[in-house]
Amino acid sequence: MRSYVQSGSRMDYSPDADVFVDQVVVLGGRIGVAVTDIPAGKLGALAVSGVFQLPAVTGEGFLPGEELFWDASVGKVTKDKTGDKPRAGYVFAPKAASVSTVDVKID
């Protein structure tokens, strides 16, 4: 019996509400990013690994390798892991405090 299923970089997903390309989707304690628009109740694909430029909180710099979390209340990644924020991944490229996006390696 062969046990290989797939590379694991994409995950099938059927949302309850419409999801749009590049939208972050919470998957339990992690996130995925929609690779296309996915209508409610239809099957689509989420990227669950790779590097994505995501909205980030401003006012603090990020350094490569630092762990990031998704704050759904503001729709941005943050280093603040308090509460029930799912893990977004880690900083892939440095971000200055004034910049509003960051390259994130999701995993």
* The two three-digit tokens of residue 87, written as one number: 């893990």
Query: Would the pTM count as exceeding 0.85?
Result: yes
Q: Which domains does the chain have, with CATH numbers?
A: 10-106 (2.40.300)
Residue 1: its pLDDT value, please?
73
Interatomic CA distance for residues 29 and 74, integer angstroms: 17
Q: What are the DSSP calls for 1-37, one per residue?
A: -------SSEEEE--SS-B-TT-EEEETTEEEEESS-
3-state secondary structure of 106: strand
Task: Pull the structure tokens for residue 4.
Answer: 């290989």
pLDDT for 107: 85
pLDDT one digit per residue (tens) for the chain, 107 residues = 789 888 889 999 999 999 999 999 999 999 999 999 999 999 999 999 999 999 999 999 999 999 999 999 999 999 999 999 999 999 999 999 999 999 999 98
106: nearest Cα among 29, 11, 33, 28: 33
